[in-house]
A and B are shown apart, each in its own frame.
Chain A
């Protein structure tokens, strides 16, 4: 067994527990979290409601009554689920993980799609073209989906274009490609948002009518490719 000094397990109320591998944005920890989630999906316990992966943590939501009835834990139900999580961690260490494919997302960075590009350039002391080139150069890891249905939290962004979020959120349109700190993300649906918008994708990231509504999932890689306005407008869904 290879335990991490930074690892913690704790309850999240009386119907969820968390295993956190290190409270940080770190690709290898995130891959470990995803491996754990795969193991949980393959070996669920009775009463498991959902397994939620975030940057460095896996949260299991459970129905306490079902766990109680099926496993009759000697101590609390919560501590039973916590020991299950310890086992998940051990098992996931020896797992072969599938290599996740890279998804290419076309982005139009032209002015009408990038309301904050000039501000980002100004803040960072770069030209707008530099900002675009640096954003395009990255291969981004999807740490988690959250905030909005289908919203990917991706990183790490090149520190040269790291900027704080806007002081107050405003309405953001679906498809907006945004950055803040060392992260980049895409708004799948229109929503109030505080990240800096530097482009827009015509790709539909979230389609509630589809069998799998979200295009992206945690663990995948994303590469952006630049398109012109004409390609954006005529994009074939």
Chain B
């Protein structure tokens, strides 16, 4: 086994790139809340970009590394330490066997990702290792991590075998710059939803000019937002249609909900807007009582933002591999 959970956090789950293709059975694709951070963690740890990672929330778990491993932590900053040595985010680390990862205090963000070289090799359900908390699947595809869970990792490239950790944590000397992805973290761009035009003038003004606050009842299924109630200029009845990660629905009480990674497959409320794909990672790192300022962009712009984000990740993938290989041959 590669790691053991000494003490679980409030919500630690296994996430890979999700389980698309089963909406006909009412099973949603799930996947990490912050796909950018999850991918980045994998790249830094020398894994495939879709490998399974552990997504943790604060209070976060204590994890024992049973053998030497190449790991990376990305996303929310919960001040990680390894045997009391502070660990940086977005930087590969070779951890020695029998060391303990701990997240003693909260600093920023909402979700932190732990990747390990080779990826976590938990059982798959319907082609994916992603945890689905409401389908009753067995093992870690159906529940959060618990005390004494043991996880192994895939074979990977075994880069870590050549990287001897002389200390408990050997922090490798390169770091990914994530500023492009997380700049202006409260400003979330959207494209208009099909029912945007049905909002009355005052509601559109409220959307454009005021901040929305994330309500404490928000979770991996959706973010409940709080603001002055929005109104439609006409009464509009719609039947349920497909919905998406980032869809912003107007509830009957005039409040908005943003559907997140574990959203249901269909929904029947008016769709005011959709968060652009490139800003979902930012949104995933916001927490209850944080505020959001929405802005509307055109589809062209949304697509460009996403392409440029993936382009950045592709460049990072190349440089991560180059740096790791160089480091091994030094």
Please list the residues of chain A having a beta carbon within 8 angstroms of any beta carbon in chain B: 8, 10-16, 18, 20, 23-25, 37, 49-59, 61, 64-65, 68, 76-79, 144-151, 153, 188-189, 191, 206, 208-209, 212-214, 217-218
Interface: B247 (CB within 8 A): yes
* Pairwise interchain contact A53-B244, C-beta atoms closer than 8 A: no
Give B240 Cβ to nearest chain A Cβ, in Å.
5
Which 5 A-B pairs give the minimum distances between C-beta atoms?
A59-B242, A13-B274, A214-B25, A146-B266, A52-B242
User: Which of B136, B138, B264, B310: most chain A Cβ within 10 A?
Assistant: B136
**Nearest Cβ on chain A to B93's Cβ, whole angstroms:** 30
Q: List residues of chain A with CB within 8 A of the CB of B302.
A: 13-14
B271-289, CB < 8 A from A: 271, 274-277
B104 interface residue per 8 A CB criterion: no
Tell me how many residues of B have a C-beta within 8 Å of chain A. Answer: 44
User: In the assembled complex, which residues on chain A have CB atoms less than 8 Å from the CB atom of B310?
Assistant: 65
Instruction: For A26, give the chain B residue with the smallest CB separation.
Output: B239
Query: What's the nearest-Cβ distance from chain B to residue A206, in Å?
Result: 7
Contact A147 B264 (CB under 8 A): yes
A14 to B118, CA, bound (A): 31
B307 touches which of A8, A54, A68, A206 (Cβ 8 Å): A68
Inter-chain contact B242/A12, CB cutoff 8 Å: yes
Q: Which chain B residues have a beta carbon within 8 Å of chain A's beta carbons?
A: 20-27, 29, 125-126, 134-138, 142, 191, 193-194, 238-244, 246-247, 264-266, 271, 274-277, 299-300, 302-303, 306-307, 310
Closest to A56 in B: B239
Please determine whether A64 and B306 come into contact, CB atoms closer than 8 angstroms. yes
Max count, chain B CB within 10 A of own CB: residue among A14, A23, A37, A61:
A14
A18 x B194 contact (CB < 8 A): yes
Q: Is A78 a contact partner of B299 (Cβ separation < 8 A)?
A: yes
Contact A13 B26 (CB under 8 A): no
A218 with B194: CB separation less than 8 A? no
A65 CA / B138 CA spacing, docked (Å): 33
Taking CB atoms, residues of chain B closer than 8 Å to A50 are: 20-23, 29
Please, which residue of chain B has its CB at the minimum distance from the CB of A68?
Answer: B307
Contact partner of B134 (CB less than 8 A), chosen from A20, A37, A191, is A191
Contact call A64/B135, Cβ cutoff below 8 A = no
Q: How far is A54 from B243 in the complex, measured between Cα atoms in Å?
A: 10
Residues on B with beta carbons closer than 8 Å to the beta carbon of A23: 238-239
**Which chain B residues border A218 with CB–CB below 8 Å?**
24
Closest to A216 in B: B25
Q: Are A150 and B142 in contact (CB under 8 A)?
A: no
Alpha-carbon distance between A24 and B241 when the two chains are bound, in angstroms: 10
CA distance A154 to B126 in the complex (A): 26
Q: State whether A11 touches B20 (Cβ < 8 A).
A: no
B26, B134, B193, B240: residue with the most chain A Cβ atoms closer than 10 Å: B26
Are B247 and A49 neighbours in the complex by a CB distance under 8 Å? no
Q: Indicate if the CB atoms of A145 and B264 lie closer than 8 Å.
A: no
Task: Offer 23 A-B interface pairs, CB within 8 angstroms, sorted by A.
Answer: A10-B194, A12-B241, A12-B242, A12-B247, A13-B275, A14-B277, A15-B277, A18-B242, A25-B239, A50-B20, A51-B23, A52-B242, A57-B242, A59-B241, A76-B300, A78-B299, A78-B303, A146-B265, A147-B266, A150-B26, A206-B136, A208-B135, A214-B27
